[in-house]
Amino acid sequence: MLSSYPESLVLSERNRNIVKFALFFLIAIYFVDCFTPLRLHYDSVRYYLIKDCIEIGCPPDSDQAKDYFPYGYTANLLILSKLGILTSFTVVFTNSAFLLGGLYFLGKVFKKTVSPYMLFIVVLLNWLFVKFVTHPLSEMQYIFFSLTSVYFFYKYTQERKTPQLLLTLLFGWLAFVTRTVGVTLICAIGVGLIWEFREQQLSFLKKNKILVSLVLIAIVTALIIFSRELGINHYAGVLSRHFQEAPFFTRTGWRFEE
């Protein structure tokens, strides 16, 4: 396995043991964090309110009943609640499991170019992951579903097995219902499929220009008609308000500062 790495990334046996120890030490710290008190974020409260609305009920005109948050992470909280184990420990533990599971599949994709142990250490030391693992938020669940989708798509490009493509689409859909930004993953998968079968696609397009045009028009029309149900109106309104408060490049600068 090591022979497939670039020479500069090949570690000696002693250094590999040190890196492995450092990785397991970090994982142990993440596990200890499961025993700390629950940390709440504004969006965490929204998730809990949506969960309570589904589980207990709420007025149809309440904020939680009209909240446009995707139901993927809410479903996770609801399952834990129904099992009677919705606690700070299980929230942090499941987030940590999602993160490590996502890293596992990421390591499987890049195992020929970079040491997975070093990759995992870099990620686990990143303050964003340290922060979001300890909060009832959807980031870690999204990471798991999206990276699992990427892994199965990578396997599909190598082996061309239909079940791998179906798993790619399944986990891509789960990523989307967890966070709406998952639509970019779905688009990327679509572009990847077009690229993988570009010759067949060009041939089909030349023979069926009218059909393809009608399908595209139907998709755009459906997005317009069901924009409210899909949350497009809500997010477009939020985006508009954000840009009224601060221009695009100002906000981009803030992100780089973070």
- String of DSSP letters for 7-70: GGGPPPHHHHHHHHHHHHHHHHHHHHGGGSPPP--HHHHHHHHHHHHHHT---TTSTTTS----
pLDDT at site 68: 78
Q: Name which residue leads in pLDDT, 118 or 171.
A: 171
pLDDT (tens digit per residue) in 8-61:
455 567 777 888 889 999 999 999 999 999 898 889 999 999 999 999 999 888
In angstroms, the CA 74 to CA 179 distance is 11
DSSP 125: T
Q: How confident is the model at residue 114 (pLDDT cuts 50, 70, 90)?
A: confident
pLDDT at site 7: 44
In angstroms, the CA 251 to CA 119 distance is 29
CB within 8 A of 246, min separation 6: which ones?
A: 254
Q: For residue 123, give the 3-state DSSP assignment.
A: helix
In angstroms, the CA 75 to CA 185 distance is 21
- Which range among 104-113, 164-173, 186-195, 241-250 has the greatest average pLDDT? 164-173
Identity of the residue numbered 29: I
Break the chain down into helix, strand, coil percent, rounded to 5: 75, 0, 25
Q: Name which residue leads in pLDDT, 92 or 237.
A: 92
pLDDT at site 3: 45
Angle at 94 between CA 122 and CA 113, to 5 degrees: 30
CB 161 within 8 A of CB 155: yes
pLDDT at site 252: 77
In angstroms, the CA 94 to CA 75 distance is 13
Average pLDDT of the chain? Answer: 85
In angstroms, the CA 159 to CA 168 distance is 13
pLDDT at site 235: 67
